[in-house]
Amino acid sequence: MPVSYMEVNLSALRHNLRVIRQHLPKEVECLAVVKANAYGHGAVETLRIALEEGYTAAAVARVEEGQELRDAGFTCPIYVLGLPLPEDMPIGVNKDLILPIDDTVDLESLECIAALSRKTIEVMLPIDTGMNRIGTHPEDVEAFLEKLKKYPHIHVKGTFTHMATADHKEKDAALKQLDRFDEAISHMPVNKDFVISSANSAGVIDIPRSWHNLARPGIIIYGPQPSDVMTNKLDLQYAMRLISHVTHIQTLHKGEAIGYGGTYVAEKDMKTATVPIGYADGFPRCLSNKGVVLINGKRCPIIGRICMDQLMVAAGEDVEPGDEVVLMGRQGEEEISLDEVAVTAGTIPHEITCDLKRIPRLFVDIDYDKNC
């Protein structure tokens, strides 16, 4: 067993995928967003379960992520959400990925690669409705579709947009984006096979108008709610625990400092424990002197600066080398949630789990409701 690792609960992933699928009407298809290695949880394992639960496709951020899924044996539709550069296109075409295009993409190269491969490449039209990240503006859609007629090996499969504020309590801005999206769709050759998608995680939960015929949940697959101000919530379970172990204990005497820069000074004699995980593993350095861990079911504050590979905590008298340390997740009756870690670090849950890259990922299948 490695000294530090991520524990990913496949039962929790399955629960969340099922809850999301049951929340949406049957006629709305659902894909699993597994970009960034499923937000750090493992894309192959997550997608496998998603397909078992009735999901019909995957979404990734980059062509190489789609290639990894194809090489793992997945044959379902795989949507790429980020625009391709010419060097990405041969892989995109040969691996039958669904690529997004707008007027900034090198369409000549894409057409040439598809023609040489004797394939027709399926593409999606991202529409910029207010995110101002990628995509064609609604008023330019008609001209762009006319331009695409010159490229017989490029076939428009559908369209999508992304709502910037769907997780806000007030939905006015999100609804205005959907108005803009409707305007763009009105210029498109829509039929029963045409894919239309705008529902991110917050849209899935809170904005039925955004569902169209393909929803694309992301962060909610892994447990967190999109925000704590939305009208509705789903019954989700956190899928990841972050675990390490105590490697060293000592007494820090009154007046002594600990760690780089001596930012924590003991006000009295105290027991400390060293844990072999740090910012090189993706655990945020900004949690220095304000984060907590669990040891023997008790909260122990992080003291001093988090190091590249280790951190130190104030420990109870019962702590010994080898004891399990939970930095995120449940231990006994106590829990440090992913959302708590993110709030303390001043960021979002997505960043916390995506940053955990150096330590190994172990998969378990535990139904905590049945094991309580």
* R_g of the chain computed on alpha carbons: 24
Q: Would you say 39 and 238 are in contact if contact means Cβ atoms under 8 Å apart?
A: no
260 belongs to the catalytic site: yes
SS3 313: strand
Interhelix angle for 10-23 vs 43-52, to 10°? Answer: 50
279 belongs to the catalytic site: no
Distance, C-alpha 355 to centroid of its chain: 11
Single-letter code of the amino acid located at 201:
S
Q: Is 2 left (phi over 0), alpha (psi -120 to 50) or beta?
A: beta
CA distance linking residue 44 with residue 345, whole number of Å = 29
The CA-to-CA distance between both ends of the chain, in Å, stands at 24
| Torsion of the alpha carbons at 145, 216, 230 and 370, rounded to the nearest 10 | 170
Catalytic residue among 5, 35, 55, 79: 35
Residue 108: its H or E element:
helix 107-116
For CA atoms 5, 10, 11, 12, give the dihedral sign. positive
Catalytic residue among 260, 290, 357, 368: 260
Residues with Cβ within 8 Å of 158's Cβ and at least 6 positions away in sequence, in order, are 124, 125, 194, 195, 196, 197, 214
Q: Which residues are catalytic?
A: 35, 260
